Structure 1
């Protein structure tokens, strides 16, 4: 890196450079040309504005770092302005008064990215920002910046040990040393957040000259685990998950940075810098080895709070339960479609007493009573087979929920007791509430037993025999002797309340469910509403099917509404959002709420409230019209399982229009200056 990447001629202090990022960039480009660093200020400004249009460059602390490669530049250069009038570059905490323009030659490799990564690490240091704001002349600014870039001839100042400075500790690594970092990303459904976090971390790592990142996505598609040699070479690991990490013991003794998956989406650079700092800190928190060889100890004590560990365990249970719900529910719906809705009255007899060579007629003897079905022959038999298969899958949902909650807390030794507890919960009528309790109980007991010190001869039997046996015994006795009847009473009361709902009370429940589905678009609140709906669907009662319809319709609203909004007022959205809008409608029609996440992440205060109001409207209308859904997923692709269809479509259209109008109004009358600037810059450069 060259010595004089910045000079006093490239610094301006306490000046006003306009009211938009474009104007500031133009002033700084002219500054670089005046200093002899740029051949063409207009070309440089255009290149920097084009990069700004892709995503705003504002960062925490009132700082902006516009940057680009440009044909107008022959050597890596840094321009700096301390603005008298701050300008909004889309930073998380408002307008920026400290602006760095980083320019590198078009064919110059990663020079500007190296500058960017070193600056980014320094900018998390509060005292560095304070020094920039306090400096009284350009020479002092140059000296401060050269110190953090490693180009100063004076000895760098000590950085101290404050927590806010931890992310800048990468400067302690030997020059030229490349650190190998690993990252695990996982969310409850493994559809959207998992891969968004992986992309955010990967893109941030590309801008760091001393980091090599490998990512393992533990999502809904097949998982490709890290090769053993990759783990062996790793210096630290990042766990960005809302559920337990599969086979966590692989990373034993590695320094670890751990958080929810959304932090990796919002702050990927910070997490990477924390991991780099941990790699060189002998006192950094490390992944603990498992107590016994048979378990992954996903929920082992890794410095997380008890509440966070419980939340992760429940989300893990929900994540593993969803495939049972989706497969079973859709098979039930297909059974109704092919065999008719009255198939629910005799599916077991039809599926077991008949065959392809002995097809049923319209009249079939069921439990000693002659019943007449609307359909007969192959359609009735195949419908019964599909329905029976779906019933078997749905019969596992409480056991799967309980089993994988226990698995998240105690690893493999918790699976069997969790499944046993879930099955007991179903048998005594405690339902999914009992499944939550038995999963947590089994996990805690199995985890406690796994931590007991036992003779070596017994240790090998602990995870496969002793822990599952004792934990299953404890959970079974607790449910039958103590917890079962109270939990069954709670479940019965809940079912009776749902069945009694009519009029305004049903509408109120629809509003609440709609608000929950649109609050965090795939997060814990959304999943709680979905679990509430699907857990009751297996009962087949009318109230549960109304709740399922409200949840599914409300969850479809946000992506469709935002897609519509990008068509209504295109100029209010960034180019990236406009592109997302072209596909978001299809995700919405398929009941994939995560299609709205890119919009909500970029502008949460305008997008999320607008979506919640639309979801509430949709939930209220489905309840008011008595709309039911026999399918737990699928959106418009399972309309055959929804009745009345007009009520569902009316609710969906009303909620979509409401959300679209509200989000457009919010952006129109309460504008986001950074997003508007990005949109204008893109239009100018087009």
Structure 2
């Protein structure tokens, strides 16, 4: 079935906003029988838009989503002569493509994205769409450039002739999988008539460059940066092969492509995967938006740097010996600060750990709930006797009975405990991975397991993760004989970095960190009254401070890793901490949803739309539902969020609420101890924060009105 048909083309699209426009486009899928539930599909598209607006420079909008309500991969095109605001900073969108993919049809979806982004970089394609007079003409134009039966990655692709439009927008953070789109078979010579670059010591010599592009969502900017770099390289008389680490999976650059490269360009907002492949190459390292807007300058910088290295072999040798696998070599973007990199490393570890937390924590919580039903009040303690190594009936592998509720509780407990056993090793391993790439995994995971075994907790995981990453990066940067280089990644680096990191932790760092964790745990267990209130307020305030950022994640990690030792009456403080953390993280989105409902005129239309979605996000313990509000008004929103979340955290802790599940929000209320107090504390914090937000915004709107303005009087 074709991606687009004449019935899926709207040449006179008119709508008050992007949501209404998306609905108009989606309705064509109902007419063509490609959706089973248009409302469900629109909800999926809106959820994607809440992550980041899909407007692109040059008057383009590409709303998209995978959805269970879509039956066939589909494109819908709309042309809005007057333009519709789609979130791009350079103005409204006039050309809108709605991409609809089945939930299980990611392959087709991902084929469309890079091809569409590439085509939209071509001014002639955009002009043809603007000039089209019939729906059939649009279908023909699109099918010529975007189809599902073209060769996939690794095939030479034509280079757009138009220069890329300037871009001002930037992507928001969200993890994505890599893909590849490049000129694998490109000739070494520059195309005839190409302009030669002026470089130090290079003259008109044609070079071969390689590049890696990525953005947090892995869709638009990833591919547009790749196409802009290809265009800029061709116009400068050079060749380039680009690896796009986007959302469609990855075919990495071949070893031969990298070996014959004169320089590499990293235009990325995510850590470049397997960065060590490019060790020893002159490197330009910038954010992805510069890859779109400043591609000619990046090519010129890469060529200049290559010329300098060629003219000064000693400089190249010294740089190769000091190769920094995490930060790259050569010309690095000065805008990326050390604090930003540390945050990226920490967040990488936490993001890989969270699925283990969710799977293990919910299974353990369900286990305790079933155990209490099957065995009474002591069930939550008795179920902890089950394992895979226990003797007799407590060995669940030997004693499991499908008809026994106790057996199911024990099974959930054993599986959940196994998942929880990986928390600290995964946290450590992927912090090291973010720093040193693949060489950091072995020392990070092994040393993280040692830290967990010694009782050093998440502090030990943080320590081993950073140590392992820097040690692995240091060893990987050694200049070694060519005969040894081949075994460095699989033998030398993991052997030495694991020995150094684990040995250092066991002999020197492990005991002090374990003592610190034991002291912290003992102090928490002894907290009561005012000190418990203070702890709850601190944890709640941290959850409300940056709404999914590093401070929020530190508090969340503190709460979830405490669950790994929870299970007896003596560690009930850990369960209270988890309850305070979850409640604090739910306040901001719920409070902003309430504020937009009570005083909608204080908020823009997009914020009111976000407010409606924030009800569900907040109820589900997704703090990020408040990010759109914080981005638009950070001071007022963050200040009020900290106050409201701190109040909720303190009340939850004081009320003795306990929670064994690491996630879920209101959906895990049955798993809480004293859940009514949880609801009361949450309601108080939400009302307080909403009142503060409304008060601050009201004062701000009055201050913005000049004296005598009738709106000021009305306010």
TM-score range, shorter chain: 0.5 to 0.7
Distance in 1 separating the partners of 2:220 and 2:588 = 23
Give 1:279 shift. Answer: 3.0
Please, which of 467, 471, 485 is the counterpart of residue 497 of structure 2?
471
In structure 2, do the counterparts of structure 1 residues 469 and 203 end up closer, same or farther at CA, with 3 Å as the change threshold?
closer
Q: Which residue of 2 aligns with 1:414?
A: 440
Q: Which residue of 2 aligns with 1:338?
A: 370
**Is the CA contact (8 Å cut-off) linking 1:313 and 1:408 kept in structure 2?**
yes
Give 1:514 shift. Answer: 1.6
Give 1:470 shift. Answer: 1.8
**Is the CA contact (8 Å cut-off) linking 1:336 and 1:383 kept in structure 2?**
yes
Give 1:50 shift. Answer: 8.3
In structure 2, do the counterparts of structure 1 residues 596 and 468 end up closer, same or farther at CA, with 3 Å as the change threshold?
same
Q: Residue by residue, what CA displacement relative to the aligned partner does 1:529-557 show, whole Å, maximum 9, x if unpaired?
A: 11111122211021221111111111111
Give 1:390 shift. Answer: 0.7
Please, which of 266, 269, 292 is the counterpart of residue 240 of structure 1?
269
Please, which of 575, 584, 590 is the counterpart of residue 545 of structure 1?
575
Q: Which residue of 2 aligns with 1:405?
A: 431
The runs of 5 or more residues in structure 2 that have no matched partner are 1-79, 96-125, 132-159, 178-213, 233-241, 307-315, 373-377, 707-715
Q: Does 1:225 align with 2:250?
A: yes
In structure 2, do the counterparts of structure 1 residues 597 and 409 end up closer, same or farther at CA, with 3 Å as the change threshold?
same
Please, which of 279, 284, 292 is the counterpart of residue 299 of structure 2?
279
Distance in 2 separating the partners of 1:348 and 1:386 = 13
Q: 1:115-264 counterparts in 2 under 5 A?
A: 176-178=162-164, 187=173, 201=221, 224-225=249-250, 237-241=266-270, 244-248=271-275, 256-258=284-286
Q: Which residue of 1 aligns with 2:473?
A: 447
**Is the CA contact (8 Å cut-off) linking 2:326 and 2:473 kept in structure 1?**
no
Give 1:202 shift. Answer: 8.1
Question: Number of residue pairs matched?
Answer: 489
**Is the CA contact (8 Å cut-off) linking 2:325 and 2:477 kept in structure 1?**
no
Please, which of 496, 499, 514 is the counterpart of residue 540 of structure 2?
514
In structure 2, do the counterparts of structure 1 residues 432 and 235 end up closer, same or farther at CA, with 3 Å as the change threshold?
closer
Distance in 2 separating the partners of 1:473 and 1:250 = 24
Give 1:226 shift. Answer: 6.3
Give 1:457 shift. Answer: 2.5
In structure 2, do the counterparts of structure 1 residues 281 and 452 end up closer, same or farther at CA, with 3 Å as the change threshold?
closer
Normalised TM-score (structure 1): 0.61
In structure 2, do the counterparts of structure 1 residues 543 and 223 end up closer, same or farther at CA, with 3 Å as the change threshold?
farther
**Is the CA contact (8 Å cut-off) linking 1:408 and 1:443 kept in structure 2?**
yes
**Is the CA contact (8 Å cut-off) linking 1:331 and 1:389 kept in structure 2?**
yes
Give 1:473 shift. Answer: 1.7
Q: 1:375-414 counterparts in 2 under 5 A?
A: 378-414=404-440
Q: Which residue of 1 aligns with 2:711?
A: none
Q: Does 1:317 align with 2:354?
A: no
**Is the CA contact (8 Å cut-off) linking 1:197 and 1:240 kept in structure 2?**
no
Give 1:399 shift. Answer: 0.9
In structure 2, do the counterparts of structure 1 residues 482 and 281 end up closer, same or farther at CA, with 3 Å as the change threshold?
closer
The runs of 5 or more residues in structure 1 that have no matched partner are 1-47, 58-64, 71-105, 112-173, 361-375, 677-686
**Is the CA contact (8 Å cut-off) linking 2:83 and 2:94 kept in structure 1?**
no
Structure number with greater Rg is 1
Give 1:283 shift. Answer: 6.3
Q: Which residue of 2 aligns with 1:432?
A: 458
Distance in 2 separating the partners of 1:614 and 1:331 = 31
Q: Which residue of 1 aligns with 2:656?
A: 626
Distance in 2 separating the partners of 1:459 and 1:236 = 24
Q: Does 1:616 align with 2:646?
A: yes
Q: Residue by residue, what CA displacement relative to the aligned partner does 1:188-233 show, whole Å, maximum 9, x if unpaired?
A: 7779xx9876678589989x99989x99677xxx75236769x999
In structure 2, do the counterparts of structure 1 residues 633 and 431 end up closer, same or farther at CA, with 3 Å as the change threshold?
same
**Is the CA contact (8 Å cut-off) linking 1:317 and 1:401 kept in structure 2?**
yes
Distance in 1 separating the partners of 2:223 and 2:640 = 30
Normalised TM-score (structure 2): 0.59
The secondary structure found in structure 1 opposite 2:269 is strand
